[in-house]
Structure 1
Amino acid sequence: MVFNLKCNHLLLMMLSLEFIVISLFYGLWLNLYIYLNENYFVIIFLTMSVCESVLGLSILVSIIRSYGNDYFSSFNVLW
């Protein structure tokens, strides 16, 4: 999978990264639950993945506020 550094596909890139994290979480949970019956590491991993997704969402919002022109298109709908 090739990640593009341009802002055109940032939301798609973040969505695919979240799918990878969810797949890793499911595999990690299955392995640790079946073999070791350990759930604490899975909770820590899930907490870190939530922090990662919040950081990505805040970067996306800051990019949209800095470079987006959503204000004009939403303002034109009112008239």
Structure 2
Amino acid sequence: MYLNYELFFYCLLVFSLFCGLLVFCSTRSHLLLTLLSLEFIVLVIFLTLFYFLVFYGYEGYFSLIFLTFSVCEGALGLSILVSLIRCHGNDNISSLSALMW
């Protein structure tokens, strides 16, 4: 029985990306859940990029640059979350208003 592992891996990555997008679009109550879904999407994109670079025989330096920027993005999101919790006491997005700032 022949199983095409490459096609299976592509389908798994696309399914993971759509699951991350679904969670990102459906969670609007807490900022932490939104940040976690964004990090999941970034990790799926990193795995896809790394797989394509290895498959076509390129160097992995671009994936390291992408991973560095995604870590900086995650640190920025966590700092915004800590600032929000210190100012408002919770991470509910519904308690925020543009007029409060």
The answer to whether the superposition gives a TM-score over 0.5 is yes
Q: Which runs of 5+ in 2 are unaligned?
A: 1-21, 91-101
Aligned identity (percent) is 58
- 1:14 and 1:38 map into 2 onto residues whose CA distance is 30
Structure 1 position 51, deviation (Å): 0.2
- 1:32 and 1:25 map into 2 onto residues whose CA distance is 10
Would you say 1:25 and 2:25 are equivalent positions? no
- Match of 1:36, SS? coil
TM-score normalized by the length of structure 2: 0.61
Q: Which runs of 5+ in 1 are unaligned?
A: 70-79
- Which one of the candidate residues 19, 22, 35 is aligned to 1:14? 35
1:76 equivalent in structure 2? none
**Is the helix fraction higher in 1 or 2?**
1
Structure 1 position 9, deviation (Å): 1.3
Q: Which moved more, 1:31-40 or 1:44-53?
A: 31-40
- 2:57 and 2:34 map into 1 onto residues whose CA distance is 33
Give the root-mean-square deviation of aligned CA atoms.
1.4
Per-residue CA deviation, residues 38-79 of structure 1 (Å, 9 max, x unaligned), is 10000000000000000000000000000107xxxxxxxxxx
Show structure 1 runs of 4+ deviating over 2 A.
Answer: none
1:37 equivalent in structure 2? 58
- Match of 1:19, SS? helix
Would you say 1:47 and 2:68 are equivalent positions? yes
- State how many pairs are aligned: 66
